[in-house]
Amino acid sequence: LAMEIALRDALAAGGEEIFPVFQPVVESRSGKVIGFEALARWRTSRFGQVSPAEFIPLAEAAGLIDPLGSLMLDRSLAACALWNAARAAQGLPARFVAVNLAAPQLIAPDLPQRIAALLARHDVPGEMLHLELTESTLLAQPAAAAQMIQQLKELGCQVAIDDFGTGYSSFSYLQHLPADVLKIDRSFMAELPHQPRARKIVAVMLDLAQALGMSAIAEGIETPEVLREFEALGGDCVQGYLTGRPMPFEEALTHPDGLN
């Protein structure tokens, strides 16, 4: 309860303590950084650094995911606008920002209007915003989710299915949800070099993405061996400690291509 009060206070105070960090998403063959995933961090005076694995569920349970989600969308779009202005001035292509959405956000009927207003305020094209939804978020309210995704896509936003392959992995929602990106859960990656079954499963997930006209991003790539295995299966887009840890905005702003 003390932590819930601290979280409420931190959000009410305008979110000095809560901020996004940015993890690169990399095209492994070219080494190009095509975008960043925004990940929430909370640095408190009372509890030190609290993990999002702890405060995101707390925010959901306490009815605070809405202000937290809005803060993340606002800060992440502000960051995206700044790094793309800097890149445009150098003649470099734009990079997207991917923001995670929690279940209560996805069923708020005014979400598309709010996102449209934020895109306009920050002057960011919808295409530069990726919205990450987990399977469990989608499964909670599949019909409402499908309708919401359609509206978000009309804004130009790209919709990504996060942690794919974990949870219930229902194929039926893939049939109905017009998502753009499949993010293969990191639990499959660690096993790639040792586990023929993991290789087969990842290969099939890559085929599935391609068959549905989606792009695929592998999460949690930590070693060159895993990257090589993923590339051997035809994968290209990756995110993980090997190709870049989550970093503060100041670093993301000038983060170069070709670190790989």
Strand pairing category for 237-239 and 18-27: antiparallel
- How far apart (Å, rounded) are the C-alpha atoms in residues 159 and 180? 5
Please calculate the CA angle 78-80-82 and round it to the nearest 5 degrees: 70
Q: Helix (H, G, I), strand (E, B), or coil: what is residue 231?
A: helix
Among 162, 180, 185, 229, interactor with Mn ion by CB under 5 A: 162
Q: Tell me: does residue 39 bind ligand G (CB under 6 A).
A: yes
The two three-digit tokens of residue 98, written as one number: 């991917």
Select the residue interacting with ligand G from 6, 26, 40, 124 (CB under 6 A).
40
| 162 counts as binding Na ion under rule CB under 5 A | yes
Task: Among 7, 33, 72, 77, indicate the residue that binds ligand G (CB under 6 A).
Answer: 72
Smallest distance, ligand G to C-beta of residue 89, A: 29
- Give the residue, chosen from 132, 135, 180, 185, that forms a contact with Mn ion under the rule CB under 5 A: 132
| Least separation in angstroms between CB 101 and ligand G | 6
Which H helix or E strand runs over 88? helix 65-89
CB of 88 to ligand G, least distance (A): 26
Q: Which residues pair with 253 in a beta bridge?
A: none
Examine residue 51 and tell whether it contacts ligand G (CB under 6 A).
yes
Q: Does residue 102 belong to the site contacting ligand G (CB under 6 A)?
A: yes
**Dmax of the chain from CA atoms?**
51
- With binding defined as CB under 5 A, does residue 163 bind Na ion? yes
β-strands 18-27, 32-44: how paired?
antiparallel
Exposure string over 67-105, b if 16+ CB within 10 A, otherwise e: bbbbbbbbbbbbbbbebbeeeeeeeeebbbbbbbbbbbb
Instruction: Name the minimum Å distance from CB 89 to Mn ion.
Output: 29
Nearer to Na ion, 162 or 229 (CB): 162
Q: Is 135 in the site for Na ion (CB under 5 A)?
A: no
Residues 187-216 that bind ligand G (CB under 6 A): none
Residue 53 contact among Na ion, Mn ion, ligand G, none, beta carbon within 5 to 8 Å by kind: ligand G
Burial of 41 per CB tally in 10 Å (0-12, 13-18, 19+): middle
Tell me how far, at minimum, the Cβ of 220 lies from ligand G, in Å: 4
Report the partner that residue 76 touches, choosing among ligand G, Mn ion, Na ion, none (CB closer than 5 to 8 A by kind): none
Distance in angstroms (rounded) separating the CA atoms of residues 26 and 240: 9
Answer for which of 6, 11, 33, 100 binds ligand G (CB under 6 A) is 100
Tell me: does residue 37 bind Na ion (CB under 5 A): no
DSSP 8-state secondary structure symbol assigned to residue 92: P
The footprint of ligand G on this chain (CB under 6 A) covers a number of residues equal to: 21
Chosen residue from 163, 206, 209, 217 binding ligand G by CB under 6 A: 163
Of 184, 179, 236, which Cα lies nearest the Cα of 213?
Answer: 179
For residues 224 and 39, what is the distance between their CA atoms, to the nearest angstrom? 24
Contacting positions for Na ion (CB under 5 A): 162-163, 219
Contacting positions for Mn ion (CB under 5 A): 100, 132, 162
